[in-house]
Amino acid sequence: MQGAQVQFHLRPGGRLTGCIRVPGDKSISHRAVILGSLAEGITEIRGFLAGADTLATRNAFQQMGVPIWGPEKGKLRIQGVGMRGLRPPQAPLDLGNSGTAMRLLCGLLAGQGWEAVLVGDASLSRRPMRRVTDPLVAMGARIQTSAAGTAPLHIYPSSKLKALHYAMPVTSAQVKSALLLAGLYAEGETCITEPGPARDHTERMLEAFGYPVRAEGNRVCIRGGGQLRGCSLAVPADISSAAFFLVGASIAPGSDLRLEGVGMNPTRTGILHILRQMGADIRIERERESGGEPIADLRVRSAPLHGIEIPPALVPLAIDEFPAIFIAAACAEGETILRGAEELRVKESDRLQVMAEGLSELGIANQLYADGIRIQGGELGGGVVDSHGDHRIAMAFAMAALRAQAPIRIRDCANVNTSFPDFAALASKTGLAIQQIP
């Protein structure tokens, strides 16, 4: 089935009600497979996201000789091979659409001492990789990119990596995580300093696997030469997937929806702060912890929203959720302004450009900046939106139908399976009038 053939057809109106659990966190699922594969002993993962991206990571480690069973009903079992037990793959590792998998594996494989090639689909092959490969080369890695600094990535054997003290020019959890994974194999202590807060799932999970991490403010350090111990962990529901339902229930009159077991890592909760500043009615209930990660149930009810100027400090804490936030802005009274989000231009699509085009198609006035967008809230019409194969674009515009005056058709939706298998079925269950074609 070609990706462009998968479409969402949506009838206008409706409301979201009930109690649901969205799929497991994609970022945590990736890291659980990586660290479980390197650990000594068995690792059992519950709540694993069986999406195309995370399955690409699982497949890559199976190609490198790691016994992995599942996922079956969200459960994955890994027989770790230890820090030096990975075997050279016999073919290039195809990571599909997953930038997380490619960047993290680039860091990990830089220290293995054998050759590997990382490839991806057309979208992933356009995404910048030098932000990862340049600091890895400074550690002694030998990595070749395309002339444009993109995949395929050829990783060649190198002598022992040396520790690096690196000040990141731009906040990026993927870059930080790649360098930490390389640091596991480096001589000495590798330290990364970020210009602002970024996701800390890798640090939390390293500690869950028994590997010491030293964190001081925006600086995190790791010393090479240690070991990981297999463990049992539960993956929380993905707040990035919950984001679409948080927005949908906020904008659709009469909505009252509960989302169970959502990950509440403070480096990921920017969307909650932004929506609440816009006037959303979101309650945090049953706060608890699982596998070193905070989780909670979220209850969201419809509320009138108003436009805001998004605080710069919240931008990195909501970077993946902005397509959904833009739909909230389209339904809000007044203007919403986002700046300092140039990172959105190098995601699965240029999310600023693609969202601007889709909003314009639905009759919402907007002004595009190099690093952001200004959105004037208004009345959503109907129309045909091209998601450009970006899963978050497709799901965001699906929720726009709740306030649209006419049907919406969204093209090129196959990649929704990278992060949210069965999105259409779950959204339909809550009240969204969605049909997936074919």
Q: Which residue has the higher pLDDT, 17 or 160?
A: 17
Radius of gyration of the chain (CA): 21
User: Residue 5 — very low, low, confident or very high, per pLDDT cuts 50/70/90?
Assistant: confident
User: Which pLDDT score, from 0 to 100, does residue 2 have?
Assistant: 45
User: Residue 285 — very low, low, confident or very high, per pLDDT cuts 50/70/90?
Assistant: very high
Query: pLDDT tens for residues 383-409?
Result: 999 999 999 999 999 999 999 999 999
HSE-CB for 348 with a 13 A CA cutoff: 25
Which CATH architecture describes the domain 3-24+236-437? Alpha-beta prism (3.65)
Q: Is the pLDDT of residue 369 over 70?
A: yes
| % residues pLDDT > 90 (the chain) | 95
Q: Is the pLDDT of residue 3 over 70?
A: no
Tokens at residue 167, please? 């000040």
**Mean pLDDT of the chain, nearest integer:** 96
314 φ/ψ sector (left φ>0, alpha ψ -120 to 50, else beta): alpha
Q: What is the mean pLDDT of residues 132-159?
A: 97
Q: Is the pLDDT of residue 320 over 80?
A: yes
HEC letters along the chain: CCHHHCEEEECCCCCCEEEECCCECHHHHHHHHHHHHHCEEEEEEECCCCCHHHHHHHHHHHHCCCCEEEEECCEEEEEEECCCCCCCCCCCEECCCCHHHHHHHHHHHCCCCCCEEEECCCCHHHCCCHHHHHHHHHCCCEEECCCCCCCCEEEECCCCEECCEEECCCCCHHHHHHHHHHHCCEECEEEEECCCCCCCHHHHHHHHCCCCCEEECCEEEEECCCCCECCEEECCECHHHHHHHHHHHHHCCCCEEEEEEEECCCCCCHHHHHHHHCCCEEEEEEEEEECCEEEEEEEEECCCCECCECCHHHCCCCHHHHHHHHHHHHCCECEEEECCCHHHHHCCCCHHHHHHHHHHHCCCCEEEECCEEEEECCCECCEEEECCCCHHHHHHHHHHHHHECCCEEEECCHHHHHCCCCHHHHHHHHCCCEEEEC
Task: Select which of 320, 386, 390, 412 is catalytic.
Answer: 320
Which residue in 234, 299, 291 sits closest to 272, CA to CA? 299
**Which residue type occupies 41?**
G
User: Residue 9 — very low, low, confident or very high, per pLDDT cuts 50/70/90?
Assistant: very high
Q: Is the pLDDT of residue 417 over 50?
A: yes
User: Residue 198 — very low, low, confident or very high, per pLDDT cuts 50/70/90?
Assistant: confident
Q: What is the mean pLDDT of residues 202-224?
A: 95
Q: What angle do CA 436, 51, 262 make, to 5 degrees?
A: 95
Active site annotation includes 25: no
Query: pLDDT tens for residues 158-197?
Result: 989 999 999 999 889 999 999 999 999 999 999 999 998 8
What's the CA gap between 250 and 255, in Å, rounded? Answer: 7
Query: Looking at the domain 26-221, which fold is it?
Result: UDP-n-acetylglucosamine1-carboxyvinyl-transferase; Chain (3.65.10)
Tokens at residue 47, please? 């709540």
What's the CA gap between 218 and 166, in Å, rounded? Answer: 12
Q: What is the mean pLDDT of residues 342-348?
A: 94
Tokens at residue 290, please? 């699982």
What's the CA gap between 347 and 35, in Å, rounded? Answer: 25
Tokens at residue 371, please? 């690093």
Which residue in 73, 81, 74 sits closest to 42, CA to CA? 81
Query: How many other β-carbons are positioned within 10 Å of the β-carbon of residue 276?
Result: 13
Q: Is the pLDDT of residue 421 over 60?
A: yes
Given a contact cutoff of 8 angstroms between Cβ atoms, the answer to whether 341 and 352 are in contact is yes
What's the CA gap between 229 and 36, in Å, rounded? Answer: 8
Considering the chain, tell me which residue range(s) the CATH 3.65.10.10 domain(s) occupy.
Answer: 3-24+236-437, 26-221
Which residue in 68, 114, 53, 110 sits closest to 89, CA to CA? 114
What's the CA gap between 258 and 274, in Å, rounded? Answer: 19
Task: Of 152-161, 179-188, 288-297, give the lowest mean pLDDT range.
Answer: 288-297
Which residue in 405, 395, 407, 396 sits closest to 433, CA to CA? 407
User: Which pLDDT score, from 0 to 100, does residue 4 have?
Assistant: 56
